[in-house]
Amino acid sequence: MTADISRVWDEVTGHLRRILNPDTFDRWIAGIVPLALDGGTCRLGVSNDMFCEWLANHYQDIIAQALEKAAGRPLKVVFESGHDRPRPAVVRAAPALVAVAAPATAPTEDREESETSRYNRRFTFENFVIGENNKFSYAACYAVAKTPGKAYNPLFIQGGTGLGKTHLLQAISQEILSRKRRAHIEYLSSEEFANSFIDALRDRTMPRFRQHFRNVDVLLIDDVHFFTGKEQLQEEFFHTFNALYNAHKQIVLASDRPPHEINGLEKRLVSRFEWGLTAEIQRPDLETRVAILRKKQEDHAIKADDATIDFIANRIRSNIRRLEGALIRLVSFSSMTGAPVTLALAEKMLQPMFDEEMGNALSFERIQKVVAEFYDVRLADMTSKRRPANIAFPRQVAMYLCRRLTEHSSPTIGEAFNRNHATILHAVTTVEARLEKDSDLRQSLSVLERKLKS
Ligand code: ADP
Ligand code: MG
């Protein structure tokens, strides 16, 4: 039996090593201790409960598949905590962990180097184009960079993908570092924070982890929506937050949705995230999109004529990363092939990006259309202010489906319905409550979902 599990596990790890990226493999798989194959069950040992939970949530399926292949039969996977594997000599470290592992002893030179290389040099306040959509967030970030811990604490930046959240967070860090080179700033994604936490648990270096994160001057966490549903991690972050907040250290958070919409985020964290200021970045208007493209030309030392810039700005509306990508793609194609940048070239080269953009823009409209047809109301009533119940409810159903079937946050969905995000949230809870008791509605919704997915 023992020989059997070793052989099977060797094959499983061989396979997983090939398909997972090396960091993931080292962090999650290498430390697993194969315990036994008992009948239809494979028991795997890991160091603690956090590992059990994480593996069960994220890697159970691929481990089970690999096991089935290696053992020649399906096996149930059971994780057991309290089993440590002797540590291998070399363990890969996440960038943040390097800082965690050697905060006090690293020579200053090294620290400065690693501090600056973590940032994109272009992500500064000077390079940030201010428009109606982002001026509030810009001002808040700028104030925080000038007087960390004093202006707004915490500062929560919310906005859709590619609208400049990371740019602003890094601008704060770089601005503070430009004035005070040795300021102790920790900028990382919530995923990196999670990884450092897991590593500290595994390596039993929690005191050092705490000592490190609770003593920074400024903590900036990007993409905090990744914190969802990880209890121990949220607990730890809660204490980190309190320690920093009480010491008047600046905390800045960024996410694609407001705190109360982050699924699985503990209430006490939601409320803390809302203690300070929440600033939203909206989609840029045409004027801002043109200004951004002009600025990007300078940043990248490239040149396109005004007609081409207008053309791109008119077609790509929802994501600045994509806007920038379109320009770079066009200009690099032209410089590689010697073909001049013309509207015709732009039209041909950028079509896939426009399609992608349309795909995003259309989905709300498609949902509205399908729902309107189903309930036999006019499409215009999906966005109108009229309130009779025979219109209001279908509209709520459409809002509910937009929330469920797309990745968009409720403020974004609100825009598509001419409403604010609270209306969308209200629609979602109303429909959910009715779904519990109303089997006809359940059936209607499953018909609608099937239509939309086909
Ligand atoms: P997010 O983190 O919100 O997904 P990023 O901060 O990564 O978005 O921004 C995506 C790209 O768009 C980056 O190259 C960034 O420099 C650029 N960008 C976003 N907003 C602006 C702006 N207002 N001015 C200049 N560049 C911007
Ligand atoms: Mg980002």
Structural Rg of the chain based on CA atoms: 25
Amino acid 203 reads D
**Omega of the bond prior to 88 within 30 degrees of 0, cis?**
no
Measure the CA–CA gap between 134 and 241, rounded to whole angstroms. Answer: 26
Which ranges of 254-285 does DSSP label H, i.e. alpha helix? 267-273
Give residue 101's pLDDT: 33
Ligand 1 centroid to Cα of residue 410, in Å, is 21
99-136 confidence digits (pLDDT tens):
333 333 333 444 444 555 689 999 999 999 999 999 99
Strand 41-46 with 185-189, pairing: unpaired
pLDDT over threshold 60, residue 396: yes
Measure the CA–CA gap between 385 and 319, rounded to whole angstroms. Answer: 28
> Do 175 and 185 form a contact (C-beta atoms < 8 A)?
no
Residue that wins the pLDDT comparison between 294 and 331: 294
Percent of the chain predicted with pLDDT > 70: 91
Is 157 buried (19+), middle (13-18) or exposed (0-12) by CB count in 10 A? buried
pLDDT over threshold 60, residue 392: yes
Mutational pocket test of ligand 1: of 320, 323, 328, 412, the residue with most ligand atoms within 8 Å of the beta carbon: 320
Average pLDDT over residues 431-438: 91
CA angle 168, 174, 177 (to 5 degrees): 145
Give residue 3's pLDDT: 62
Give residue 270's pLDDT: 95
Confidence of residue 404 (pLDDT cuts 50, 70, 90): confident
Give residue 86's pLDDT: 60
203-258 confidence digits (pLDDT tens):
999 999 999 999 999 999 999 988 877 889 999 999 999 999 999 999 999 999 89
- Count the residues in the chain: 454
Spell out which residues line ligand 1, taking CB within 6 angstroms.
122-123, 127-129, 134, 159, 161-167, 292, 295, 320-321, 324
> Do 410 and 424 form a contact (C-beta atoms < 8 A)?
yes
Q: Is 228 helix (H, G, I), strand (E, B) or coil?
A: coil
pLDDT over threshold 90, residue 20: no
Confidence of residue 367 (pLDDT cuts 50, 70, 90): very high
Measure the CA–CA gap between 164 and 123, rounded to whole angstroms. Answer: 9
Lowest mean pLDDT among 207-216, 289-298, 329-338: 329-338
Eight-class DSSP state of 261 = G
Confidence of residue 352 (pLDDT cuts 50, 70, 90): confident
